[in-house]
Chain A
């Protein structure tokens, strides 16, 4: 089993991305991206490469940015071979990384697909020279939409931004099913452990926490949820999970997942309470939630298997952390499944087309619900699934008061 390199992986992924293909059809028909300078600054791997090639296929001039630690080299190479301007090198030094980011920004991008609002913030702060060229930004994540809204409220956001993350077809699928499956599976792949009968703690019951809890239970785990929000905790209780404070819940845990999105969720104090052999994985925001290098109380050992490192707690117990506290699904796996990213990336493409075809003022905008609906409908259609249309009577009834 040798595999077909970057090109093979990109082509394989594309076969399972019908919504992205449909979005490209729409963008091609609208023609607004043709000849435009589009920048894509998402984690560079096979699925985002499909977005890059889809945007290029509708006639845009595409540049790609990617971080040194998440860029898959064979994917970057395959894109470059296809004539895409790639500013991403796996393992680049910090200086080289800076150079690449600025070279990407030097492309005077008009429409930007951003992840964590990294590039758009940099342009506002340091590269105001290219700000006049920037006509719109599509933002992928919760953690990118937040600072954009802060910038907007302070009157500092100078371009229209679409919060792709907040579309229903993103939030309800990517964060829930995608992350749920990929976090649990990456942890089982790394450890070769059985979920059936295991005692599982999930810290945080937002979309990601719900996804992890659902998947862990589906595989036979018994889930206890820890929350700081009473409404979410009550929801976990109604979903049939145990609910307990984290410090208490971890005492009998075989698996501990954090999905809080908040720094310092899991600390050395919690690790000290865990039983020998417990496995810890972060499914939310990564290291801020649990940083195994923090605190002198924990002694880190050498990896006992790829991506699995022992932590010796003062209690004498050995606890194993997967992917060193980084997001387990992207660090110890391939990230979210292809079909889930099909939806998210189709929304990205539609957002770029929307920005190119609509006059919007500076600020954070939602993707129009009709576009959201069309993307969902395109994946249903590809699966051969039909849905109902409301009858005239239903439409009338819905409009009455």
Chain B
């Protein structure tokens, strides 16, 4: 096993972080462990390519303890926590990752993971899957399944499928209710705002915040901004989402109009160059820009760098670009601000997301699925939600037979029957 990490001596802090994650992950530590206890993962080669921090490491630990041969890399060159990586290695798991990598070392880390010949991938942004498809056709042909974490990654897998280049089953873990309804909304919402305020020491009450993209992530951020006393202006290209933002009580505007009055700009489109050269003139002096989408390219930082007369870093994680005499700030260099500039999603939320991922993997291992993108099994989705509720001591109601809607009665042609009383 040839791991590549920054510093093995950092392991003690990493273990503490993983233990903290375990303490607040009752579903992964309980329900999921129990299900994985059937031995089906034993000896299976699993690659985990997700932002490498304490919660991810606990997922990797659970999979390894269920018998899988786990290899881990980060899904982004700048988000790995070196102490956690060191702790994983000490737990006998192969890791290829360090924080502050270059693009080149990150690519070579992913290639190293690919060369371990994984049977299954827990992927984020389909970063590893796409690279194996491109660079290692022989390994790609042997892949038995992929479980995908993000909206961006699911879209990429569907594109592969449409191109006829997805010869194995993939599970859209992102689309599970227990994933996107909580992770993308509440998880990203809270942690994005948290990271922005922590990096800048600024105040949310009274802030005018442009949110570019009103998908699950944008919605979540908007909810939190609004709840904390900020004022949202949402920017959308999709009329239904724009109408939703409007009906949710937010201002909606085109990009240039929104930027002209924004103190804070948060991108959440899942695409590239949401803030680009054509927008720079509309930015307010001292505007703060942060990215909450998967790509590091939603804010066109290279273009800003080109346009700026000077660039410096007044606070850790805060880069200032002077556009003429107008300063504009970008947080975490345009990388995912909640992870690159903060602690990532809360443990409680990742307990749900990673329970979905682990059960997605378990489904791929134990079920014969045809090639293509599959939805996460809805019955498992409900079981995960029920396990989370149970861990919090929350009870559900049960619908009696006589409370249920009776479709049969509606279809019954006997017109003498009352609609109200059977």
Partners in one complex: yes
C-alpha gap A19/B419 in the complex (Å): 67
Say which residue of A4, A178, A189, A195 sits within 8 Å of B315 (CB atoms). A4
Does A277 have its Cβ within 8 Å of any Cβ on chain B? Answer: yes
C-alpha gap A8/B204 in the complex (Å): 22
A298 to chain B, nearest CB (A): 19
C-alpha gap A308/B198 in the complex (Å): 17
The B301-338 residues at the A interface (CB cut-off 8 A) are 312-318, 320, 327, 332-333
Say which residue of B54, B313, B346 sits within 8 Å of A1 (CB atoms). B313
Q: CB distance B203 to A338 under 8 Å?
A: yes
Chain A: which residue is nearest B195 at the CB level?
A: A189
C-alpha gap A9/B190 in the complex (Å): 25
The A324-374 residues at the B interface (CB cut-off 8 A) are 333-335, 337-340
Q: CB distance B203 to A220 under 8 Å?
A: no
C-alpha gap A11/B310 in the complex (Å): 15
Instruction: Write 15 A-B pairs (CB below 8 A) sorted by A numbering.
Output: A1-B317, A1-B333, A3-B314, A3-B318, A12-B315, A189-B343, A193-B348, A194-B187, A194-B349, A218-B224, A218-B229, A220-B186, A334-B201, A335-B201, A339-B202
B278 to chain A, nearest CB (A): 24
Pairs of residues from A and B, 6 with the lowest C-beta to C-beta distance, nearest first: A3-B316, A337-B203, A194-B346, A8-B314, A218-B227, A12-B314
Total residue contacts A-B, CB cutoff 8 A: 118
Interface-lining segment among B17-25, B39-47, B139-147, B358-366: B17-25
Q: CB distance B190 to A188 under 8 Å?
A: yes
Does B392 have its Cβ within 8 Å of any Cβ on chain A? Answer: yes
Say which residue of A9, A218, A277, A384 sits within 8 Å of B314 (CB atoms). A9
Say which residue of A178, A192, A197, A338 sits within 8 Å of B343 (CB atoms). A192
Q: CB distance B392 to A197 under 8 Å?
A: yes
C-alpha gap A15/B325 in the complex (Å): 13
Q: CB distance B316 to A337 under 8 Å?
A: no
C-alpha gap A326/B342 in the complex (Å): 23
A56 to chain B, nearest CB (A): 20
Q: A4-B315, A337-B197 are in contact. Are A194 and B186 (CB under 8 A)?
A: yes
- A215 contact set on B, CB distance < 8 A: 228
Does A305 have its Cβ within 8 Å of any Cβ on chain B? Answer: yes
B 214-255 to A, binary, CB cutoff 8 A, 1 in contact else 0: 000000000010011100000000000000000000000000
A307 to chain B, nearest CB (A): 12
Does B347 have its Cβ within 8 Å of any Cβ on chain A? Answer: yes
Q: CB distance B202 to A16 under 8 Å?
A: yes
Chain B: which residue is nearest A277 at the CB level?
A: B23
Does A177 have its Cβ within 8 Å of any Cβ on chain B? Answer: yes
The A199-222 residues at the B interface (CB cut-off 8 A) are 215, 218-220
C-alpha gap A13/B204 in the complex (Å): 15
C-alpha gap A194/B350 in the complex (Å): 10
C-alpha gap A189/B341 in the complex (Å): 11
- B313 contact set on A, CB distance < 8 A: 1-4, 8
Q: CB distance A305 to B227 under 8 Å?
A: no
Chain B: which residue is nearest A190 at the CB level?
A: B343
- B198 contact set on A, CB distance < 8 A: 185, 189, 333
Does A196 have its Cβ within 8 Å of any Cβ on chain B? Answer: yes
- A277 contact set on B, CB distance < 8 A: 23-24
Q: CB distance B228 to A3 under 8 Å?
A: no
Does A169 have its Cβ within 8 Å of any Cβ on chain B? Answer: no
C-alpha gap A13/B205 in the complex (Å): 17
- B187 contact set on A, CB distance < 8 A: 194
How many chain B residues sit at the interface, stated as a range, is 35 or more
How many chain A residues sit at the interface, stated as a range, is 35 or more
Does A181 have its Cβ within 8 Å of any Cβ on chain B? Answer: yes
- A386 contact set on B, CB distance < 8 A: none
Does B159 have its Cβ within 8 Å of any Cβ on chain A? Answer: no
C-alpha gap A384/B206 in the complex (Å): 12
- B200 contact set on A, CB distance < 8 A: 12, 338
Does A304 have its Cβ within 8 Å of any Cβ on chain B? Answer: yes
Does A294 have its Cβ within 8 Å of any Cβ on chain B? Answer: no
Chain B: which residue is nearest A180 at the CB level?
A: B205
Does A398 have its Cβ within 8 Å of any Cβ on chain B? Answer: no
Chain A: which residue is nearest B208 at the CB level?
A: A383
Q: CB distance A181 to B23 under 8 Å?
A: no
C-alpha gap A3/B24 in the complex (Å): 33
Does B286 have its Cβ within 8 Å of any Cβ on chain A? Answer: yes
C-alpha gap A308/B194 in the complex (Å): 18
Does B16 have its Cβ within 8 Å of any Cβ on chain A? Answer: yes
Chain B: which residue is nearest A198 at the CB level?
A: B348
Say which residue of A2, A193, A194 sits within 8 Å of B316 (CB atoms). A2
- A12 contact set on B, CB distance < 8 A: 200, 314-315, 318, 320
C-alpha gap A185/B20 in the complex (Å): 19
C-alpha gap A311/B257 in the complex (Å): 52
Say which residue of A181, A193, A305 sits within 8 Å of B204 (CB atoms). A181
The A290-339 residues at the B interface (CB cut-off 8 A) are 304-305, 308, 333-335, 337-339
C-alpha gap A340/B333 in the complex (Å): 26
Q: CB distance B315 to A9 under 8 Å?
A: yes
- B345 contact set on A, CB distance < 8 A: 194
Q: CB distance A181 to B203 under 8 Å?
A: yes
Say which residue of B17, B332, B348 sits within 8 Å of A194 (CB atoms). B348
C-alpha gap A192/B327 in the complex (Å): 32
- A8 contact set on B, CB distance < 8 A: 312-315
- B346 contact set on A, CB distance < 8 A: 188, 192-194
C-alpha gap A47/B201 in the complex (Å): 10
Q: CB distance B229 to A13 under 8 Å?
A: no
C-alpha gap A379/B205 in the complex (Å): 13
- B194 contact set on A, CB distance < 8 A: 185, 188-189
A384 to chain B, nearest CB (A): 8
C-alpha gap A309/B205 in the complex (Å): 31
B339 to chain A, nearest CB (A): 12
Q: CB distance B317 to A3 under 8 Å?
A: yes
A6 to chain B, nearest CB (A): 10
Q: CB distance B315 to A219 under 8 Å?
A: no
C-alpha gap A199/B422 in the complex (Å): 43
A98 to chain B, nearest CB (A): 31
C-alpha gap A304/B12 in the complex (Å): 10
- A189 contact set on B, CB distance < 8 A: 194, 198, 342-343
The B159-176 residues at the A interface (CB cut-off 8 A) are none
A 1-45 to B, binary, CB cutoff 8 A, 1 in contact else 0: 111100011011101100000000000000000000000000000
- A383 contact set on B, CB distance < 8 A: 206
Residue among B313, B315, B317, B333 with the most chain A CB within 10 A? B315
C-alpha gap A139/B180 in the complex (Å): 50
- A220 contact set on B, CB distance < 8 A: 186, 190, 227
Q: CB distance A338 to B202 under 8 Å?
A: yes
